[in-house]
């Protein structure tokens, strides 16, 4: 099963939301640029979640008590893959479409 690290996923999500709301306070061509970047980031998040990627973090711990040494590996799942979380891809694609509509509105009102 393909996975995406939780930190990478949350970083892309934070950047996309920041660019979306940051565009409301920007002026000129910067608004359009921020909307396009946010559109691309939300589309990537929507593609990851609709493709069935699991959002998780892997961790490994090595124990050593002086006599024996063993390795324990685990996974913390943030968002499971499969059909239970398909709806979040629609949310991300909807936010991408919102940024597209806001971009077109900004371009139309600028001319």
What confidence category does residue 18 fall into, taking pLDDT thresholds of 50, 70 and 90? very high
Instruction: Classify 56 as helix, strand or coil.
Output: strand
pLDDT at 7 over 80: yes
Supply the pTM of this predicted model. Answer: 0.85
Q: What is the mean pLDDT of residues 27-52?
A: 91
Residues 100 and 37: their CA atoms lie apart, in Å, by 10
Contact yes or no for 84/15 (Cβ under 8 A): no
Task: Residue 86: count other Cβ atoms within 10 Å of its Cβ.
Answer: 12
Average pLDDT, the chain: 89
At 41 the pLDDT is 97
70-85 tens-digit pLDDT? 888 888 888 888 777 7
Domain limits, the chain: 3-110
pLDDT at 111 over 70: no
CA distances from 21 to 25, 56, 91 (A): 7, 27, 16
């Amino acid at each position: 099963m393909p996975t995406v690290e939780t930190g990478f996923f949350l970083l892309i999500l934070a950047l996309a939301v920041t660019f979306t709301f940051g565009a409301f306070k920007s002026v000129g061509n910067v608004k359009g640029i921020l909307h396009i970047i946010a559109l691309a980031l939300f589309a990537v998040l929507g593609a990851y979640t609709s493709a069935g990627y699991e959002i998780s973090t892997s961790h490994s711990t090595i124990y050593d008590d002086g006599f024996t040494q063993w390795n324990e590996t685990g996974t913390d799942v943030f968002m499971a893959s499969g059909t239970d979380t398909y709806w979040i891809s629609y949310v991300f694609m909807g936010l991408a479409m919102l940024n597209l509509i806001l971009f077109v509105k900004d371009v139309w009102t600028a001319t």
